[in-house]
Structure 1
Amino acid sequence: MKRVYVIGTCDTKEAELRYAVERVQAAGAPALLVDISTASSTAAADVTPEMVARHHPRGADAVLGHADRGRAVTAMAEALTQFLLSRDDIGAVLGLGGGGNTSMVTQAMRALPIGVPKLMVSTMASGHVAPYVGPTDIMMMHAVADVAGLNAITRTVIGNAAHAATGMAVNAVPSSGETRRAVGLTMFGVTTAAITQIRQLIEGDCECFVFHATGTGGQCLEKLIDSGLITAALDITTTEVADHLFGGVLPCTEDRFGAVNRRRIPWVGSVGAVDMVNFGGRETVPEVYSTRNLYIHNPQVTLMRTTPEENEAIGRWIMARVNRMEGPVRFLLPLRGISAIDQAGKPFHDPQADHALFDAIRAAWVSAPNRKLIEVDAHINDKAFAEASVHAFRDITRGK
């Protein structure tokens, strides 16, 4: 049976961690106590700080003995990440702690594949948890009282968490037996028509996973690709790139498209909704953008039309990554518009800006046997574009 890894800083929370280990074992699973103290610890843990620290790329000395706690915590998080990635007996990971421990443990948790149970009992769990959870399936459980001594509250919360982690470790979710190809699709409100048509055309022989292109959505897609759970993608909506480059609230990261290259999966891409940068309510738009073409989607969302110069930058940024892809790639340009509000008569209709985007992509494109640039004389939400996307997808997945 795989083990529940109970992780925390034994120099300050040994009693609480040992109680969690006790409850895991009582519930029927083997447990492993991992001590990630960055200060001196004399606890007899199953895995000591020195054992974890040796997994740091620069060795244990890069982690232990620092007077600067911030540097030590950062280094221990990296060492813990590499330690967990080296293990093949993880049934679940259970972390306990406050801010520092939560930061270290969840960083390592985020590196684990989707589906490996991850539960973090934290004093930080009732606030903004996106920095800890990211695009993964980490379960955050509020500690209620600080993890600083065993009492009626902490025993109950820690005990429940230990039982939950044990339950996930010993009751693996059975395989669905699904044999269809797992395909990721990216969608925004203004490309919904395109993705709906594409999904309907392929879902007979593909299991479709649609991701809302909200920054986190793109990261979730790529996490699942890295985990091997998504094996092909129709990445039609790349709007997160515009937010990343120009200060929007739904940005991708610098690693956007990185998982596609690492896994070399069949990938069909396009420029859906890169005509806009997303902000919150109208009052949140930076003053520098106050005279721009702004569209109030709803009281909480304001869209800013990208300029020709911004579109050139977007095109170059995307191509710099697409040109590195070594798997089968098709990239489609919808020449009559890239979002529902970029059509003739709509608020963001700007042929000059679109042409700047397309020209930048054409200029930066590097031809290779595995890659084809396809121009489609249609709007992105037209039936013709959906059919062209599916044709390209069939072309690169046939026989694979």
Structure 2
Amino acid sequence: MGAVVLIATLDTKGPEVAYLRDRLASLGVDTFVIDSGILGEPVDITPDISHGELARRGGMTLDELQHAGTRGRAVEIMRTLVTDLVREKFALGEVVGGISVGGVGSVMGAAAIQVLPVGVPKIVVAPTASGHHEFAPYVGTKDVMVVHSIVDILGLNPISTTVFDNVAAAMLGMLRAGHPLGPPSADTRYVATTMLGNTTHAVEAMKARLAELGYETVVFHSNGVGGPAMEELAAAGQFVGVIDYTTNEITDPLTGGIHNGGPNRLRVVGELGLPQVVVPGCIDFSVFAAGQIPSALAGRPVYDHNPEYALVRTPEDEMRQIGRIFADRLNSATGPVRVVVPTRGLSIPSTPDGPFWNPAADAAFLEEVRANIRPDIPVETIDLHINDPELGRHVAELFSTILDSTRPKEALA
């Protein structure tokens, strides 16, 4: 069995990491301690990999790293060095889990343990993991357990040691009873799809129809993380194909919305060559925390999805821009692709009596897609609403037809 990697800035978190290391050791768990600190020397602990060794791995001295420009630049370099080391040691079978400890510095360790595959235990312990700070850096697209330390990680006391004791126990439990995500079984065909509350009914119907056709569906919430996570797992070989039903994550980058899927969203699956059906579900809005809609978007139709989130309608000029982005990213596909565009609305509020109803804007999106997509990628329109179960079943049957056409004849016998 390999070791659990512990990552922290040991000039400020040395005694606390030493306590956690020793607690894990008392439970029979081997550890490997990495010092991600940039300035001071470790306090009350000797790391297995020092910050000086990390700098040398990057082809520089510690002094050169410390004077790499701004503090932010030095932290960026250190984060890369730590991440590369964890990736390398996991590939060698030397790492079986990871724990990042610290305040703001815990983000460096969090980035490193996020390279560990799904199912490999990952824990972040931080006082900033309270919900009042940006949460995304702690988890990325992975199954990271985040523990709020309650007190600052500066000194050992009954509160901090209780938290560390439970973190050690949680790691032991995951190592003993958990397991990494394995490859899909040879007799099961998994299909990935994306969904929001606005597309739930259609996706449920699609999932049921796919089951009738011999597929199991894995559903991802397209909230800015779900889509990229789906694409990462597709790259890891988990799926026979994808039905990207809810592609709103390409809209939020234009407006600063919180469901931002990043610059490669909608490109990865196609470049992998996997069969896919793509539907522009929910591209007609951006998502914002309630009460935090930017003033630049004032005057646009707003739909209160729930007490936490508000949806803002995408106007015609941005729908055209999204159409070009949509087409451009699908154009890089190397496998079979079909696009299905419903014409009775792309979200729940987009109905003739709803606040997002704007057929001209939706038509502008479709016009740009058709003008910019590769001629060999079919674009089908269908006179249904995005959340109509009939549309979900239609897409499921289309996907099955596509996949059957790509399988060797002997596999169909």
User: In which range does the TM-score fall when normalised by the shorter chain?
Assistant: 0.7 to 0.9
Counterpart position of 1:104: 108
* 1:339 alignment partner AA: S
In 1: Cα distance, 2:273 partner to 2:302 partner: 38
In 1: Cα distance, 2:101 partner to 2:309 partner: 37
Shift of 1:318: 1.7
Counterpart position of 1:47: 49
Counterpart position of 2:10: 10
Shift of 1:262: 5.5
Gap change, CA 1:22 and 1:259, over 3 Å in 2: farther
In 1: Cα distance, 2:271 partner to 2:41 partner: 39
Shift of 1:231: 4.6
Gap change, CA 1:10 and 1:287, over 3 Å in 2: closer
Contact 1:279 / 1:303 at 8 angstroms: preserved in 2?
yes
Gap change, CA 1:206 and 1:18, over 3 Å in 2: same
In the TM superposition, structure 1's runs of 4+ consecutive aligned residues that sit over 6 Å from their partners are 174-177
In 2: Cα distance, 1:343 partner to 1:55 partner: 58
Shift of 1:104: 0.4
In 2: Cα distance, 1:22 partner to 1:300 partner: 42
1:257-296: CA deviation from partner (whole Å, max 9, x where unpaired) = 2442464433221111212233344x54444433333334
Deviates more, 1:104-113 or 1:128-137: 128-137
Residue 72 of structure 2 is aligned to residue 73 of structure 1? no
In 1: Cα distance, 2:28 partner to 2:66 partner: 37
In 2: Cα distance, 1:174 partner to 1:354 partner: 43
Counterpart position of 2:362: 354
In 2: Cα distance, 1:244 partner to 1:45 partner: 41
Normalised to the residue count of structure 1, the TM-score between the two structures is 0.87
Counterpart position of 1:36: 36
1:91-130: CA deviation from partner (whole Å, max 9, x where unpaired) = 1101222212x11011122233221111112121223333
Gap change, CA 1:32 and 1:294, over 3 Å in 2: closer
In 2: Cα distance, 1:390 partner to 1:296 partner: 30
Paired residues in the alignment total 394
Partner of 1:86: helix, strand, or coil?
Answer: helix
Counterpart position of 1:114: 118
Shift of 1:377: 4.2
1:292 aligned residue (300, 304, 317): 300
In 2: Cα distance, 1:143 partner to 1:41 partner: 24
* 1:7 alignment partner AA: I
Shift of 1:319: 1.7
Shift of 1:54: 4.8
In 1: Cα distance, 2:394 partner to 2:379 partner: 12
In 2: Cα distance, 1:19 partner to 1:289 partner: 50
Gap change, CA 1:155 and 1:286, over 3 Å in 2: closer
* 1:117 alignment partner AA: P
In 2: Cα distance, 1:238 partner to 1:207 partner: 21
Q: What residue ranges of structure 2 are gaps of 5+ in the alignment?
A: 409-413
Counterpart position of 1:376: 382
1:245 aligned residue (231, 248, 254): 254
Shift of 1:387: 3.6
Q: What residue ranges of structure 1 are gaps of 5+ in the alignment?
A: none
Counterpart position of 2:99: 94
Shift of 1:307: 2.1
* 2:356 alignment partner AA: F
Gap change, CA 1:26 and 1:285, over 3 Å in 2: closer
Residue 328 of structure 2 is aligned to residue 327 of structure 1? no
Counterpart position of 1:267: 276
Deviates more, 1:234-243 or 1:213-222: 213-222
Deviates more, 1:3-12 or 1:65-74: 65-74
Gap change, CA 1:54 and 1:223, over 3 Å in 2: farther
Matches within 5 A, 1:158-169: 158-169=164-175
In 2: Cα distance, 1:395 partner to 1:14 partner: 59
Gap change, CA 1:207 and 1:156, over 3 Å in 2: same
Contact 1:143 / 1:157 at 8 angstroms: preserved in 2?
yes
Shift of 1:134: 2.9
Shift of 1:227: 4.4
Gap change, CA 1:51 and 1:232, over 3 Å in 2: farther
* 2:112 alignment partner AA: A
Residue 199 of structure 2 is aligned to residue 191 of structure 1? yes
Counterpart position of 2:65: 64
Shift of 1:27: 1.1
Shift of 1:397: 2.7
Gap change, CA 1:155 and 1:341, over 3 Å in 2: closer
In 2: Cα distance, 1:136 partner to 1:263 partner: 20
In 1: Cα distance, 2:55 partner to 2:271 partner: 27
1:25-73: CA deviation from partner (whole Å, max 9, x where unpaired) = 22122221222221253664222324434555xx345972327433221
Residue 245 of structure 2 is aligned to residue 236 of structure 1? yes
Counterpart position of 1:366: 374
Contact 2:270 / 2:335 at 8 angstroms: preserved in 1?
yes
In 2: Cα distance, 1:169 partner to 1:52 partner: 27
In 2: Cα distance, 1:22 partner to 1:331 partner: 56
Normalised to the residue count of structure 2, the TM-score between the two structures is 0.84
Gap change, CA 1:115 and 1:174, over 3 Å in 2: closer
